[in-house]
């Protein structure tokens, strides 16, 4: 490894350490801004616009983070190929039906933290991840079914756990 490559790797590690918590916080803000208009559909227009702006801002933060990680990588093409899933997650949510995929970067950041902090607590991580996934799937079901003429309650969406009706 050359001195330049070692310096680049050190900068990438510093970037990850510096951004882990801010990205988790951005993810929580995104989740709240995504969930509030779904759970409370009759919000004032200003609140809905604020939630939309927050989701766009937090998403931009994740895009910037990915771009910086690629820039800091020693072999950028190799990094993109090895982390193709991250790139896909960053790009795909521009399509309206795939909005829920925006939460995947949050799970990736939490996973990075879990790998270093919770090595012996796999069950806690799995349970937390499963709960977050079930909540997000329920939000997606509730959001999708709001346009359906048959009313759906939050409890029904939670019981459904992400399964769509026939």
Contact 34, 55 (CB under 8 A): yes
**pTM score, whole prediction:** 0.67
Which residue, chain included where needed, has tokens 């590690």?
Answer: 13
In the prediction, which pLDDT does 142 show?
84
- Of the candidates 149, 139, 145, the one whose C-alpha atom is nearest the C-alpha of residue 37 is 139
Secondary element (H or E) of residue 97: none
| Tens digit of each residue's pLDDT (9 = 90 or more) over 154-164 | 555 555 554 54
More confident residue, 163 or 95: 163
Instruction: Provide the residue ranges of all domains of the chain, joining segments of one domain with +.
Output: 3-116, 118-166
């Amino acid at each position: 490894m050359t001195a330049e490559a070692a310096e680049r790797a050190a900068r990438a590690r510093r970037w990850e350490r510096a951004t882990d918590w801010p990205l988790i916080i951005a993810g929580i803000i995104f989740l709240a801004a995504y969930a509030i208009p779904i759970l409370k559909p009759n919000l004032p227009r200003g609140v809905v616009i604020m939630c939309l702006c927050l989701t766009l801002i937090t998403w931009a933060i994740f895009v910037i983070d990915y771009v910086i990680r690629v820039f800091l990588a020693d072999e950028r093409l190799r990094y993109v190929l090895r982390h193709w899933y991250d790139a896909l997650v960053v790009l795909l949510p521009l399509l309206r039906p795939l909005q829920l995929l925006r939460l995947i970067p949050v799970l990736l950041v939490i996973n990075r933290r879990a790998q270093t902090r919770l090595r012996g607590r796999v069950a806690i991580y799995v349970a937390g991840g499963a709960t977050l996934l079930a909540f997000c799937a329920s939000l997606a079901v509730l959001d999708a079914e709001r346009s359906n003429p048959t009313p759906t309650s939050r409890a029904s969406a939670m019981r459904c756990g992400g399964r769509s009706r026939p």
